[in-house]
Amino acid sequence: MRPFSARPVRSPRLLAGLVCTLSTAVLPTASATNAADAADVPPVRYVALGDSIASGVGAGDYDAASGNCLRSRHSYPQLWTDSHQVAAFTSAACSHATTQDVIDKQLGKLSRDTTLVSITAGANDVSFGETMATCTAGTDKACLDKIHAAEAAIRDRLPKALSATYRAIGAKAPKARVTVLGYPRLFTTGGACLFGLSTTKREAIDEAADQLNAVTERAARQRGFAFGNAARAFTGHEICAKDAWIHSVRLLALEESYHPTEQGYESGYLPTLSAVTGP
């Protein structure tokens, strides 16, 4: 019987070459994997819809071409676009817009190629601006009467209006991810406020804002849309807080009253949208 003998050991250099060849043949390179992943992600084609919050009223630096819509270069849709890779961006948002205005005047910017839509709308449907004007200049009773009327509209009319708006968005942009952003609470009950806004008024206004957000979130989720809770991001930065991100009454720019400041859009709304869409 021939004695057992081990097979000769191959050259380390030869073995290293063999391993390298096999790994190259079997495993894709990191760059190839990244390229493949990138190819699977469609380019972002973003359309922003909604009211004065979506257009950025309060932030200043308005695009003259937007006219009375007051679309700011510091609006949350523009800030999000500036911080992401976006193939196309259009903002149709306009100050004073109602949900019906969104349907009638803004949805023409959507298409089957749209991949991302954001919207803030609903406050004008329930005359929130008029309510704030009454609460600023009127008595507690006048303010509460106006708030109760707004709450009735939030409860009885707004759900149907929001549902119709979201349905229309889905029909015009069936491939898009849609994010609905709500509204901040306007006041903290501590601190000192001007223009006669008592604690009674502030608490009632905030309660109405909570109801507005709850109805908006419910309508969005029923449609399968994401919802961004802006009120959470603004906590501790409401009017009357030491570091407020919301304007109180602005006598020289009344349209900016009770809207976020530039800091509010950057530190409140932008993180809210980014948390839903991803980095």
Distance CA 14, CA 30 (A): 25
Euclidean distance between CA atoms 158 and 163, whole angstroms = 8
Which residues are designated catalytic? Answer: 52, 259
Contact 91, 55 (CB under 8 A): yes
Query: How crowded is the C-beta side of 74, counted as CA atoms within 13 Å?
Result: 16
Question: What does the block give as tokens for 73?
Answer: 């270069």
Return the structure tokens found at 33.
Answer: 């994997």
Q: Enumerate helices (H) and strands (E) in the chain, giving the number of each.
A: 12, 5
Residue bearing tokens 């391993």: 19
